[in-house]
Chains A and B, each alone.
Chain A
């Protein structure tokens, strides 16, 4: 079992240099493709270089592409970012498609992401605009002028209404209805 995640750094989402506020700047600055000209483990890398590398370089004029042949070593991808980070990827025995996917990942990320566990999916500089909630918010100021001990405040909250109270309520309601009827008749 791997325990590597126990010592993994954790952090919060951040973007370098206020990226995206005015315009978006691609953070990948330089990509180096290292491969061997004869070895079978670099075959996918060689295919990629033959078929797709020129297109990739044309599509992304902001990224410098280096190609570095070296004898009898495994193929490697290295991306260097604006914030100085460097991501190293081994592409041993990987196919052309896999390599193009990894290159796409290197292009779209802001730095090496594998070494950070995110604790939140949200970052803000202004946490509250209407003010943080407090128990006193939108509450009537009666509570401040209350004098203790008060008989009202010391009653239980869930005291059920007694039968007498219910009867009184009913009586009052009836009275109101009668009054309404009388006023209607008068209006007619």
Chain B
């Protein structure tokens, strides 16, 4: 119990820290790209209103972001990143996928068996050492997720049974809905990761 209290207290402290203009939160997190920039925007103005220090802090933040990007690019160039995973948005649902996974889409969906498709709405992509987080989705073309449709079937028969007591009302319906099985073939980082200020404008233009 004591330990639980401790962790909870840590959590509280973290929240307090993030409200102040300190950069501890970055140290707590492992390499993550976008939130660092997001933090910068969301932060309330520092209490000590000295412009020079704020600029310095922003510069430091930028430098840190760039160094992280460079390290990620280096890892990808040497193909040391290992297995990638991604969170994709598909037919109103989000799936956490990695190459070789099978996911199922419920309901009517036009692609047929053998179709090779690319999943474009990537919300998050990551590897062992880094995570790219989209706001809400990653830049188009940054991560390519390829998949194959391997099965289109109907579900087992579901019974819809309704009855109202003492009202001579009873209905029974049977239904089977279509299901599509998809195999994830590959997840790749197609472009080098770049961090600059222009990213925000693009995201506002893009339609989700």
Binding site for B on A (CB under 8 A): 1-2, 4-5, 8, 13-15, 19-21, 24, 26-27, 105, 107-110, 113-118, 121-126, 129-130, 135, 138-140, 142-143, 146, 148, 152-154, 157, 173, 176-177, 180, 183-184
Q: Give the CA-CA distance A173 to B28 in the complex, in Å.
A: 26
B83 is an interface residue with CB less than 8 A from chain A: yes
Q: Give the CA-CA distance A125 to B83 in the complex, in Å.
A: 12
Partner of B158 from the list A5, A152, A183 (CB cut-off 8 Å) is A5
Interchain CB contact under 8 A, B152 and A109: yes
Interchain CB contact under 8 A, A140 and B152: no
Interchain CB contact under 8 A, B126 and A126: no
**Given A124-B98, A129-B126, A109 contacting B153 (CB threshold 8 A):** yes
Partner of A2 from the list B3, B10, B159, B176 (CB cut-off 8 Å) is B159
B23 is an interface residue with CB less than 8 A from chain A: no
Interchain CB contact under 8 A, A105 and B153: yes
Nearest A-chain residue to B10, judged by Cβ? A139
Partner of B156 from the list A20, A26, A115 (CB cut-off 8 Å) is A115
Interchain CB contact under 8 A, B85 and A122: no
Interchain CB contact under 8 A, A110 and B156: no
Q: Give the CA-CA distance A142 to B24 in the complex, in Å.
A: 15
Q: Give the CA-CA distance A110 to B84 in the complex, in Å.
A: 28
Interface size class, chain B: 35 or more
| Minimum CB–CB distance for A124 against chain B, Å | 5
Q: Give the CA-CA distance A108 to B114 in the complex, in Å.
A: 9
B208 is an interface residue with CB less than 8 A from chain A: no
Partner of A122 from the list B5, B28, B95, B131 (CB cut-off 8 Å) is B95
Among B33-41, B42-50, B64-72, B198-206, which stretch is in contact with chain A? Answer: B42-50
Partner of B128 from the list A116, A129, A138, A184 (CB cut-off 8 Å) is A129
**Given A15-B183, A108-B153, A24 contacting B114 (CB threshold 8 A):** yes
**Given A1-B172, A2-B172, A122-B104, A135 contacting B126 (CB threshold 8 A):** no
| Minimum CB–CB distance for B22 against chain A, Å | 14
Partner of B151 from the list A5, A15, A180 (CB cut-off 8 Å) is A15
Binding site for A on B (CB under 8 A): 2-3, 5-10, 12, 28-30, 47-50, 82-85, 93, 95-98, 100-104, 106, 112-114, 126-128, 131, 148-159, 161, 172, 174, 176, 179, 181, 183, 185
Interchain CB contact under 8 A, A129 and B150: no
Q: Give the CA-CA distance A188 to B152 in the complex, in Å.
A: 75
Interchain CB contact under 8 A, B48 and A121: no
Interchain CB contact under 8 A, A110 and B157: no
Q: Give the CA-CA distance A130 to B125 in the complex, in Å.
A: 12
Q: Give the CA-CA distance A106 to B16 in the complex, in Å.
A: 60
Interchain CB contact under 8 A, B154 and A154: no
- Chain A residues with Cβ below 8 Å from B30 are 138
- Chain A residues with Cβ below 8 Å from B127 are 129-130
Interchain CB contact under 8 A, A146 and B6: yes
- Chain B residues with Cβ below 8 Å from A105 are 152-154
| Minimum CB–CB distance for A11 against chain B, Å | 10
Nearest B-chain residue to A157, judged by Cβ? B8
The 5 A-B pairs with the shortest beta carbon distances in the complex, nearest first, are A20-B183, A113-B153, A108-B152, A20-B150, A109-B153
Interchain CB contact under 8 A, B128 and A24: no
Q: Give the CA-CA distance A27 to B2 in the complex, in Å.
A: 58
